[in-house]
Chains A and B, each alone.
Chain A
Amino acid sequence: MNGVTGVVVRLKLSLLRNGLRQSAGRRAAYITSVVFTLLYAALQLLGLILLRGSAHAATIAVLSTAVLALGWAVMPLFFPSGDETLDPTRLVMLPLRPQPLVRALLTASLVGIGPLFTLCLLTGAVVSTAHGAAGYGTAVVAVVLALLVCVALARAITAANIRLLTSRKGRDLAVLSGLVIAIGAQVVNFGAQQLGSGGLSQLDPAGDVLRWVPPASAIGAVDSMSNGSYGVGAAQLLLSAVALAGLLTLWSRSLTKLMTAPDASTLQAAEPGARKRTSAVPFRLLPAGRTGTVMERSLRYVWRDPKTKTAWVTSLAIGMIVPVFNALQGHGSVYFACFAAGMLGIQMYNQFGQDTSAFWMVATTISSPRDAYAELRGRALALLVITLPYAALVSVVTTAIIGSWEKLPEALGLTFALLGAMLATGTWTSARFPYSIPQEGYKNVAPGQTGIAWISIFGGLVAAALLSAPVIAATIWLNATAGGSEWTWLLLPAGTVYGALILLLSLRLTAPRAAQRLPEILAAVSKG
């Protein structure tokens, strides 16, 4: 290894070692992830070897390689800070030329679990398809080529987008990546079910295209060579080699540009044409005074703050999926629709923690229980604007699937009672057990406040269930009593009024407490 390459590889190893030295938890997490990755890689390898001889072996091998390459392309966009050697701007002060730097960074990229996993999978892919001397010879070249293309792809994409990735928008994107992965898992799940019913031959057309797309074309070459189509195989191999050269050139160019051009983010932003954020029409319909002001800010944050947005999208999605999917699978109940109210009501919890230390701006404008009441009521109303229609929608959809329309009024009544109870307990715990939500990373509780967060959420959930007990009891009683089911429609107005009353009561009781505890709340939410 020449000088620079050795130094960069050692740098990567030191960063890894020091990262692990920081805490036992991190070490445990790393070791666990290594073990699981290797187990998974071994299973993949085994599975691919078992496929050897199958008619679809080549298609599966090519597809796996393509998916793997996609993973390499996408991962750095979501985890830009995962690897510090990936960020060439950190090396900008050092007197390095692009060529040795590219060589060094490429070599360093080959160290780690990701490349090892890739190597296992690629080996499996070629073992499942290679036959004969030409096939095996090509296989060795193909594995090396495909691995290098994957790594170079990740690096080239990162280098080209590093300014975006380290910017505010990039970091916002990273917070949302968990959602993309969750939704992606659903899609994969759905795809797998389709395959289970339709057979692997459905994949062949995709395989025919992808075997010409690098780096999958390198694996396609192994198959072609094994079947005696040497010309086709050579062309596919060449395609991957050209792609590698192209990626390296692109990467080298971006590196040079990064190292020599000024960072545009520090330039004076004199955008006179900056898009005007007008007060959208729906916001003009909000009431005047503190209530409307608080509502407008809360609703803007649902859309603009990545943490708040993630929490909302998760609540909305799960609140719909659980009752509706259960109903679709035939073992649901209209009462499951209450689940949406529970999921959405959680957004009322830790209201001031969601403000972070910016809560001081609220604290300096609350001088009486009256102000605190208006503040809390505004926040609850902002939540109701979204949750009330949505929870009703989930109830209607669930009922429609199950078909028992006569149960809709009581399902709605229960939903609204539970929503009121969740907002009531959320209001109270927001003032009593506030905790910080760190703005960076995936954690939703600051270190040392996990206990408070658990008390707040789980205590609140239990309390909300107890608070809605009268409505639940009335539902059971009316359904159990002879002739009672004719009166179950009464549960809709009763549940709605009950939910509204306990929310109002909680707002009244919490307001003086919140107004009194402003410095304590500020201290609790400023730790993130």
Chain B
Amino acid sequence: MNEVGAGVAAVRVQGLWKRFGEQIAVAGIDLELPAGRFIGLVGPNGAGKTTTLSMVTGLLRPDQGTVEVAGHDVWRDPVAVKARIGVLPEGLRLFERLSGRELLAYTGRLRGLPGDEVDKRATQLLDVLGLAGAQHKLVVDYSTGMRKKIGLAAALLHNPEVLFLDEPFEGVDPVSAQTIRGVLERYTASGATVVFSSHVMELVESLCDWVAVMAAGRIRAHGPLAEVRGDAPSLQQAFLELVGAHGHDAGADLDWLGGVR
């Protein structure tokens, strides 16, 4: 079910633009994301990662450009696309006055899955993600890590081909992060594609086999991890050179810090 036809990219983006008033958030992106990979979209805050992911998942209308998921146009063929993708956005609420289990039951049924199947999958997801103990608590009382996990469960419930996660590890404790990691690795091993954004390079380097580097609304580099890293000792170094943010010695002006007290 997760097989994407050979040669078809999981996501194909062409000439994508988005402007908010004076500010250009996304300035013409062309990108082809290969299927079956663990893909990291990295960039500093304000690079346009969230805007891009919102447009790719159909939550934000682009000013220009086309987006195809598994060969289907996101805006012209929403029926084919929405059933194939799972989304975990950043900065948007969930239906927080439902309990974790109710939220999954609600999402799964909205997706048109049979009720019994939804409940079975929900139980398994809650178990694997360590939320079984809190399943009857309202989501409004969940911690950040628990919210990310229940959001991930809701995104996985209908077994999508491509999963888009916006900052899934932001504000998440190490234990929850490890759980999320485990689930995602198992998921990609089955041939599905994960696209996630982050500004933590160590994380991307340890998780992804394919990366796209974004800065100021454009793609600066993309390809397999080793290729993008090149000769640099780490992705962090390669990234700093790509976005041109190096050479400023912040310590010079703070000579008193750590001096005689």
The residue that A293 contacts in the complex, of B79, B97, B106, B140, with Cβ under 8 A, is B106
In the assembled complex, the CB of A416 is this many whole angstroms from the nearest CB of chain B, namely 30
A166 within 8 Å of B (CB atoms): no
| CB–CB B82/A305 < 8 A | no
| CB–CB A269/B134 < 8 A | yes
Over the window 291-334 of chain A, the binary record of Cβ atoms lying under 8 Å from chain B Cβ atoms (1 yes, 0 no) is 01110110011001100000000000000000000000000000
| CB–CB B110/A304 < 8 A | no
Known: A293-B106, A300-B97, A305-B97. A518 touches B58 (CB 8 A): yes
| Complex alpha-carbon distance, A137 and B49, angstroms | 73
Residues of A within 8 A of B129 (CB): none
B138 within 8 Å of A (CB atoms): yes
In the assembled complex, the CB of A325 is this many whole angstroms from the nearest CB of chain B, namely 33
| CB–CB B102/A361 < 8 A | no
Residues of B within 8 A of A368 (CB): 78-79
Over the window 278-299 of chain A, the binary record of Cβ atoms lying under 8 Å from chain B Cβ atoms (1 yes, 0 no) is 0000000000111011101100
Over the window 198-209 of chain A, the binary record of Cβ atoms lying under 8 Å from chain B Cβ atoms (1 yes, 0 no) is 000000000000
Task: Kindly identify, within residues 71 to 130 of chain B, every residue whose CB is under 8 Å from any CB belonging to chain A.
Answer: 78-79, 81-83, 85, 87, 89, 91-99, 101-102, 105-107, 109-112, 115
A90 within 8 Å of B (CB atoms): no
Q: Which residue of B lies closest to A439 (CB)?
A: B93
| CB–CB B112/A300 < 8 A | no
| CB–CB A357/B61 < 8 A | no
| CB–CB B133/A365 < 8 A | no
Known: A288-B115, A367-B83. A358 touches B140 (CB 8 A): no
Of A146-154, A484-492, A519-527, the one with at least 4 CB within 8 A of chain B: A519-527
| CB–CB B61/A519 < 8 A | yes
The residue that B59 contacts in the complex, of A276, A297, A356, A522, with Cβ under 8 A, is A522
| CB–CB B154/A290 < 8 A | no
Known: A290-B112, A362-B110, A522-B59. A367 touches B78 (CB 8 A): yes
B24 within 8 Å of A (CB atoms): no
Residues of A within 8 A of B110 (CB): 290, 293-294, 361-362, 365
Over the window 397-409 of chain A, the binary record of Cβ atoms lying under 8 Å from chain B Cβ atoms (1 yes, 0 no) is 0000000000000
| CB–CB B82/A364 < 8 A | yes
| CB–CB B109/A293 < 8 A | yes
Known: A300-B102, A367-B79, A519-B58. A168 touches B95 (CB 8 A): no
| Complex alpha-carbon distance, A355 and B137, angstroms | 19
A494 within 8 Å of B (CB atoms): no
In the assembled complex, the CB of B197 is this many whole angstroms from the nearest CB of chain A, namely 16
B57 within 8 Å of A (CB atoms): yes
Residues of A within 8 A of B226 (CB): none
A360 within 8 Å of B (CB atoms): yes
| CB–CB A271/B59 < 8 A | no
Q: Which residue of A lies closest to B60 (CB)?
A: A519
A473 within 8 Å of B (CB atoms): no
| CB–CB A277/B97 < 8 A | no
B141 within 8 Å of A (CB atoms): yes
The residue that A361 contacts in the complex, of B57, B79, B94, with Cβ under 8 A, is B94
A272 within 8 Å of B (CB atoms): yes
In the assembled complex, the CB of A335 is this many whole angstroms from the nearest CB of chain B, namely 37
| CB–CB B95/A361 < 8 A | yes
| CB–CB B109/A274 < 8 A | no
Residues of B within 8 A of A518 (CB): 58-59
| CB–CB A300/B98 < 8 A | yes
Known: A290-B110, A365-B110. A275 touches B98 (CB 8 A): no
The residue that A272 contacts in the complex, of B83, B96, B133, with Cβ under 8 A, is B133
Q: Which residue of B lies closest to A290 (CB)?
A: B110
| Complex alpha-carbon distance, A271 and B100, angstroms | 14
| Complex alpha-carbon distance, A487 and B60, angstroms | 55
Q: Which residue of A lies closest to B101 (CB)?
A: A277
| CB–CB A360/B78 < 8 A | no
In the assembled complex, the CB of B26 is this many whole angstroms from the nearest CB of chain A, namely 14
| CB–CB A277/B92 < 8 A | no
| Complex alpha-carbon distance, A361 and B79, angstroms | 15
| CB–CB A271/B133 < 8 A | yes
In the assembled complex, the CB of B128 is this many whole angstroms from the nearest CB of chain A, namely 18
In the assembled complex, the CB of B62 is this many whole angstroms from the nearest CB of chain A, namely 9
| Complex alpha-carbon distance, A296 and B61, angstroms | 30
Residues of B within 8 A of A361 (CB): 94-95, 107, 110, 154
The residue that B136 contacts in the complex, of A275, A356, A526, with Cβ under 8 A, is A275
Residues of B within 8 A of A480 (CB): none
| Complex alpha-carbon distance, A277 and B97, angstroms | 12
| CB–CB A297/B98 < 8 A | yes
The residue that B95 contacts in the complex, of A269, A358, A365, with Cβ under 8 A, is A358
Residues of B within 8 A of A523 (CB): 60
In the assembled complex, the CB of B79 is this many whole angstroms from the nearest CB of chain A, namely 4
Residues of A within 8 A of B98 (CB): 297, 300, 304
A363 within 8 Å of B (CB atoms): yes
In the assembled complex, the CB of B18 is this many whole angstroms from the nearest CB of chain A, namely 11
| Complex alpha-carbon distance, A271 and B99, angstroms | 14
| Complex alpha-carbon distance, A289 and B99, angstroms | 20
| Complex alpha-carbon distance, A305 and B93, angstroms | 14
In the assembled complex, the CB of A18 is this many whole angstroms from the nearest CB of chain B, namely 28
A133 within 8 Å of B (CB atoms): no
| CB–CB A297/B106 < 8 A | yes
In the assembled complex, the CB of A431 is this many whole angstroms from the nearest CB of chain B, namely 16
| Complex alpha-carbon distance, A523 and B105, angstroms | 26
| CB–CB A358/B78 < 8 A | no
Known: A363-B59, A365-B111. A304 touches B106 (CB 8 A): no
In the assembled complex, the CB of B63 is this many whole angstroms from the nearest CB of chain A, namely 12
A482 within 8 Å of B (CB atoms): no
Residues of B within 8 A of A294 (CB): 110
Task: Kindly identify, within residues 55 to 80 of chain A, every residue whose CB is under 8 Å from any CB belonging to chain B.
Answer: none
| Complex alpha-carbon distance, A294 and B170, angstroms | 31
Q: Which residue of A lies closest to B103 (CB)?
A: A361
A270 within 8 Å of B (CB atoms): yes
Q: Which residue of B lies closest to A272 (CB)?
A: B133
In the assembled complex, the CB of B224 is this many whole angstroms from the nearest CB of chain A, namely 30
Residues of B within 8 A of A293 (CB): 105-106, 109-110
Q: Which residue of A lies closest to B96 (CB)?
A: A358
| CB–CB B95/A277 < 8 A | no
Q: Which residue of A lies closest to B75 (CB)?
A: A519
Known: A288-B115, A358-B94, A365-B111. A277 touches B58 (CB 8 A): no
| Complex alpha-carbon distance, A274 and B131, angstroms | 12
| Complex alpha-carbon distance, A519 and B89, angstroms | 14
Contacts A277-B99, A290-B109 known; 4 new A-B pairs at CB < 8 A = A290-B110, A358-B93, A367-B81, A367-B83
Complex A-B, nearest 5 residue pairs according to Cβ-Cβ distance, in ascending order: A293-B109, A367-B78, A304-B97, A365-B110, A357-B92
Write 30 A-B pairs (CB below 8 A) sorted by A numbering. Answer: A168-B140, A269-B141, A271-B133, A271-B134, A271-B137, A276-B136, A277-B101, A277-B136, A289-B109, A289-B112, A293-B109, A296-B106, A297-B98, A300-B98, A301-B97, A305-B97, A356-B93, A357-B92, A360-B87, A361-B94, A361-B154, A363-B59, A364-B85, A365-B110, A367-B78, A367-B83, A368-B78, A519-B58, A519-B60, A526-B92
Partner-B contacts on A (CB < 8 A):
168, 269-272, 274-277, 288-290, 292-294, 296-297, 300-301, 304-305, 355-358, 360-368, 518-520, 522-523, 526
